[in-house]
Amino acid sequence: MKPPAFLLRTIEMSKEEIDEVTGVSTTGHEWDGIKELNNPMPRWWVRTFYATIIWGIAYTIAMPAWPMVESATKGVLGYSSRAELRAELDEATATQASRRTAIKEKSLNEILADDELRRFAISAGSAAFKVNCSQCHGSGAQGSPGYPNLNDDDWLWGGDIKSIYQSIAHGIRFNGDPDTRISEMPAFAGVLEDKQIKEVAAYVASLSNTSSDPALVEPGKVVYEENCAACHGDGGQGGRDMGAPNLVDAIWFYGASEAEIAAQVRAPKHGAMPAWLGRLGETTVKELAVYVHSLGGGEE
Amino acid sequence: MLNPAEIEKLDVEAVNSASNRQPLYVARRKIHPKRASGNFRQLKWIVMAITLGIYYLTPWLRWDRGPHAPDQAVLVDLAHGRFYFFFIEIWPQELFYVAGLLVMAGIGLFLLTSTIGRAWCGYTCPQTVWVDLFLVVERAIEGDRNARIKLDQAPMSFRKLGLRLTKHMSWLLIAVATGGAWIFYFADAPTLFRDFFTGQAAPVAYITVAILTATTYTFGGLMREQVCIYMCPWPRIQAAMLDENSLTVTYNDWRGEPRSRHTKKAVAAGERNGDCVDCNACVAVCPMGIDIRDGQQLACITCALCIDACDGVMDKLHKERGLISYATFRDYDANMALATVGGTTPIDPARVRGSDGRFVPGIADFNWRSVLRLRTLIYVTIWTLIGLIMLYALLTRDRLEVNVLRDRNPQYVILSDGSVRNGYTVKLLNMIPQPRTITLRLEGLPGASMSVSGHHTGPEERSVNVPVEPDRLRALKVFVRQPADQAHPERQTFRFVVEDKVNQETSAYTATFNAPGEHK
Ligand code: SF4
Ligand code: SF4
């Protein structure tokens, strides 16, 4: 094969001048007295180089490449990274389909008993939790004052899988759901005298061994039995039927100090949680319930 | 004894020697290496049989590991991240063994190169071995050098077409077998073999075979010496590794020059010639298309075939073998100094051979001291040391491991009775191909107990038994609880201990237990 024209020109030029030191011909190019030696690449290499140029041009025709006013050229193969992502997501959804159907069809206890399904539900629930629940309960479900910690074993409305499901599905004090959990502690500010409120707060604090003024505890007990025991129980153990907190344990929803307890007696704050069944659907709510149940406080 | 003029002078040009080399954009000039025979050729046949045998047959060796692991002796199981090598099984986190092997290979290469030069290139490099194989096939089909040149020049005919087709088909067959053998290292060979021909193997298998077929055919059949001269970095690296004591294929011009085919005439004229009869036998056999008489050069892969060719010629002339030989630069230099006057005059044969035709005393010859020297001994020491360390690590390594990740969010949880709980992800690694029951237990952390999520252990305990499948990792969610009266305000350390009571293996992981500081 004859070398291409521009190389031939190079050869002709090189015939004109041979570098003395190396004995190699020069390309004829010269900058400030420095000359370029003519050491071309091997032919197969040059051809490979040409091939890559052709490949490069062909690629920009086949694939999206050239920026235009509106968008880039589409490429004749019609590739799009978005379509690829969509396809991958569809594929992922498709591979999850059989398990998600199983979750939908099985009862919560059946899911817990099936190790593989349970693990899948935990992963899925964990993802759904991050998106929908972490805003209030925290990304580790650790909660904050007024928002329950879901890792511990203290449950306002019950910690077995069915109760958890019920709370997530229908919410707490959520107007839009007729099945929502409702209870409301009355404000005692107008009912009890300030002194009585201080006394009952001291009594409640003493239930979990926190220090308090012993003089207030005795009268506080009387106030408690008359006003509070109906919901919170005689011993202060709470009542899950109406979401009445346990007052003898180490966990405090709105703070453990007597002042905080007194404030809650005077004008109680009530948290609310939306119902998720309508928004997320049964399968996801089940997954969320299994996830929350797995965090360490789940009851049998 | 033959008259030098009776030795056939081969009409051959060393197309790749520096003076003849083509401008690179011109088509490669074909080399037609002639068949060589002799000791080195013999050695190369043996090396070729061994290396090709290892490559093609290894995947078919079986090794019984019981019912829970593959029975292929050498297997890279990418899907499960396992590497099996006879009795050794390597998990991904143990890949440093492979790194260690690579380091050993590197140092081994330094050792080889500093002693016997580019032996890797000349004998065991896949490029060399496969080119050799392709050449044997070519020779069997089209004949030796002269026949091939004639065939190249002949116009196209049925015979030529037939020979060409046969040759290229044979090459392709070898190429397919080469690419094919490669994939068997990555899956069960007999199964894959069946699947491959029934069209049921994974697409990646076919793609791999196609690519390796193409590269084998192109590199072994079409590009050959071009790969060594232009593509491979090793010839450049070797230049930095050779020293004056490394053996390389050397044309001993101190006894060869002045070369002449007309010794008798010269003698009559009262002159003396060297041993080289300028027959070009060394050039004709060279697969790289160079002339070793130009001196040591980058293109020479030290295949030693020119030694065989020249030794044959010397035998016919009843001269000592070794006009071309493995020699160190030091010896060569010493002999050159002998043959010339301090390197200033032309080589004078009378200075190396006495009038009786024997070499003068003092000619330097191969000496073991060129191999056993400080540099090579250091290489050997390092190489052996790494090898021993690896062997020790391999023989004493754990086949039962535990890794622990403590929950960071939340750092701790206070339970209703005031006790403190920390959560952990505990990973049990059963690295043998048998199912095991592993006992996980707490060591330290007074009063603490644990529960495993999804594992019905009943009341919380300090020890649980967990079944783990053969050759698998099992991740557990473990909650560790310390009662309020035992809790410590500071961060505490304790150990998760795993034990296989049957095989008497234990392993442990030191973990921390967080408490809320001022709490309690
Ligand atoms: S010069 Fe000799 S050793 Fe070097 S490649 Fe050629 S035949 Fe082989
Ligand atoms: S070196 Fe040996 S083989 Fe080569 S031309 Fe001289 S005599 Fe012949």
Quote the DSSP letter at residue B347. Answer: P
Q: Quote the pLDDT of residue A46.
A: 84
Q: What is the mean pLDDT of chain B?
A: 89
- Of chain B, the percentage scoring pLDDT greater than 70 comes to 96
Q: For residue B34, which ligand has an atom nearest its CA?
A: 1
Look at residue A58 in the predicted model and tell me its pLDDT: 96
Q: State how far residue B453 is from chain A, nearest Cα, in angstroms.
A: 7
ipTM of the complex: 0.77
- For the CA of B305, the nearest ligand: 1
Rg (CA), chain B: 34
Question: Given the structure tokens 């592993």, which residue do they identify?
Answer: B438
Point out the residue among B418, B423, B454 whose CB comes nearest to the CB of A118. Answer: B454
B414·A42 Cβ contact <8 A: no
Give me the amino acid identity at B471: D
What percent of chain B shows pLDDT beyond 90? 57
How far A112 CA lies from chain B's nearest CA (Å)?
8
Separation between Cα atoms, residue A169 and residue A280, nearest integer Å: 9
Separation of first and last alpha carbons in chain B: 108
CB contact at 8 A, A111 and A95: no
Q: Among B26, B413, B417, select the one facing A296 at the smallest CB separation.
A: B413
In terms of Cα–Cα distance, which of B89, B108, B100 is closest to B388? B100
pLDDT tens for B365-405 read 888 877 888 999 999 999 999 999 999 998 888 889 999 99
3-state secondary structure of B62: strand
Nearest by CB to A153, from B23, B416, B423: name it. Answer: B416
Q: How far is the CA of B295 from the centre of ligand 2 (A)?
A: 13
Q: B28 to chain A: which residues are within 8 Å by CB?
A: 42-44
Q: Record the tokens describing residue B394, joined without a space.
A: 């391999």
Distance from the Cα of B353 to chain A's closest Cα (Å) equals: 37
Report the alpha-carbon distance of residue B343 to residue B287 in Å, rounded. Answer: 32
Both tokens of A44, joined, read 């197969």
Which residue has the least CA distance to atom 8 on ligand 2?
Answer: B279
User: Tens digit of pLDDT for each residue in B19-63?
Assistant: 776 666 667 788 999 999 999 999 999 999 999 999 999 999 999
Contacts of B412 (CB under 8 A, 6+ apart): B420, B421, B422, B514, B515, B516
Per-residue pLDDT tens digits for B190-229 = 999 999 999 888 999 999 999 999 999 999 999 999 899 8
Q: What is the 3-state secondary structure (H, E, C) of A179-237?
A: CCECCCCCCCCCCCCHHHHHHHHHHHHHHCCCCCCHHHHHHHHHHHHHHCHHHHCCCCC
Q: Check CB contact of B453 with chain A, cutoff 8 Å.
A: yes
Which residues on B lie below 8 Å from A118 (Cβ)?
454
Atom 4 of ligand 2, nearest CA residue: B282
Residues of B in contact with A46 (CB under 8 A): 25
Q: Quote the pLDDT of residue B455.
A: 66
Contact state of A45 with B230 under an 8 Å Cβ cutoff: yes
Q: What is the pLDDT of residues B293-337, one digit of tens each?
A: 998 888 999 999 999 999 999 999 888 999 999 999 999 998 998
Give the separation between CA B487 and CA A252, rounded to whole angstroms: 19
Q: Tell me what the mean pLDDT of segment B159-169 comes to.
A: 95
- Burial string for B363-386 (b: 16+ CB within 10 Å, else e) reads bbeeeeebbeeeebeebeeebeee
Q: Atom 1 of ligand 1 has which residue's CA nearest to it?
A: B292
Cβ of B454 and A151 within 8 Å?
no
A-B C-beta contacts closer than 8 Å: 79
Is the minimum CB–CB distance between B19 and chain A shorter than 8 Å?
no
Rounded to the nearest whole angstrom, what is the distance from the C-alpha of residue B299 to the centroid of ligand 1?
A: 8
User: pLDDT tens digits for A156-167?
Assistant: 999 999 999 999
How far apart, in whole angstroms, are the C-alpha atoms of residue B488 and residue A66?
66
> Which of B219, B216, B215 minimizes the C-alpha distance to B229?
B219
Distance B249 CA to ligand 1 centre (A): 7
Pocket of ligand 1, candidates B303, B310, B313, B325: which has the most ligand atoms within 8 Å of its Cβ, to mutate? B303
Chain A residues with CB under 8 Å of B453 CB are 294, 296
Cβ distance B484 to A250 less than 8 Å, yes or no, reads: yes
Tell me if B303 sits within 8 A of B123, measured CB to CB: yes
Mutation target vs A (from B21, B25, B419; most A CBs, 10 A cutoff): B25
Q: How far apart are CA B423 and CA B408, in angstroms?
A: 9
Residue type, B460: E
At B54, phi and psi to the nearest 5? Answer: -60, -45
pLDDT computed for residue B409 by the predictor: 86
Which chain B residues are closer than 8 Å to A115 by Cβ?
Answer: 454
Q: Give CA–CA dist B342/B337, Å, rounded.
A: 5
Q: Does B96 touch chain A (CB under 8 A)?
A: no
For residue B396, what are the contacts with CB-CB under 8 A and spacing of at least 6?
Answer: none
| Omega within 30 of 0 (cis) for the link into B258 | yes
Bridge partners of A37, per DSSP, are: A26
Interchain contact, B409 vs A42, CB within 8 Å: no
- Does residue A205 contact residue A220 with C-beta atoms inside 8 Å? no
What is the C-alpha to C-alpha distance for residues A59 and A61, in angstroms, rounded to an integer?
5
State the first-to-last Cα distance of chain A, in angstroms, to the nearest integer.
84
Range list of β-strands (E), B377-471: 400-406, 413-414, 420-430, 436-443, 449-452, 463-468
**Smallest Cα distance from B8 to chain A, Å:** 34
- Return the DSSP state at B434: S
Q: From the CA of B212, how many Å to the nearest CA of chain A?
A: 18
User: Closest residue of A to B229, CA-based?
Assistant: A42
pLDDT of amino acid A14: 44
Question: With the C-alpha atoms ordered B262, B264, B269, B275, is the resulting torsion angle positive or negative?
Answer: positive
Rounded distance between C-alpha atoms, residue A87 and residue B305, angstroms = 59
Tokens of B130: 């496969």
* Beta carbons of B454 and A294 less than 8 Å apart: yes
* pLDDT tens, residue by residue, B71-105: 999 999 988 889 999 988 899 888 888 899 999 99
Residue from the list B410, B477, B479 with its beta carbon closest to the beta carbon of A140: B410
The radius of gyration of chain A from alpha carbons, rounded to an integer in Å, stands at 38
Q: Please state, in angstroms and as integers, the Cα–Cα distance from residue B211 to each residue in B52, B157, B219, following that order.
A: 19, 32, 12
Which of A47, A80, A50, A46 shows the shortest CA–CA distance to A62? A80
Contact B453 A11 (CB under 8 A): no
Q: Distance, in angstroms, between A205 CA and closest chain B CA?
A: 14
Three-class SS state of A278: helix
Interface residue B460 vs chain A (CB under 8 A):
no
Question: Which residues on A lie below 8 Å from B230 (Cβ)?
Answer: 42, 45
Q: Chain A: nearest CA to B19, how far in angstroms?
A: 11
Residues forming a β-bridge with B440: B464, B498
CB contact under 8 A, A43 and B27: yes
Region B252-268: mean pLDDT is 81
Q: Is A94 exposed, middle or buried (0-12, 13-18, 19+ CB in 10 A)?
A: exposed
Q: Which residues pair with B474 in a beta bridge?
A: B428
> pLDDT by residue (tens digit) across B411-435?
899 998 889 999 999 999 999 888 9
Using most ligand atoms within 8 A of CB, pick from B12, B282, B290, B324 the residue to mutate for ligand 1.
Answer: B290
| Gap from CA of B338 to ligand 2 centroid (Å) | 21
Q: Is the CB of B7 under 6 A from ligand 2?
A: no
What is the residue-level pLDDT of chain A in tens, covering all 300 positions? 455 555 555 555 445 577 877 777 787 788 888 888 887 777 778 889 999 999 999 999 999 999 999 888 888 998 989 999 999 999 999 999 999 999 999 999 999 999 899 999 999 999 999 999 999 999 999 998 889 999 999 999 999 999 999 999 999 999 989 999 998 899 998 899 999 999 999 999 888 866 678 888 889 999 999 999 999 998 899 989 889 999 998 898 888 888 999 999 999 998 899 999 999 999 999 999 999 999 988 888
Task: Identify whether the C-beta of residue A292 lies closer than 8 Å to the C-beta of residue A164.
Answer: yes
Write the single-letter amino acid at B190: P
d(CA B299, CA B289): 9
The rounded distance, in Å, linking the Cα atoms of B413 and B516 is: 9
Give the pair of three-digit tokens for residue A62.
Answer: 């086949």
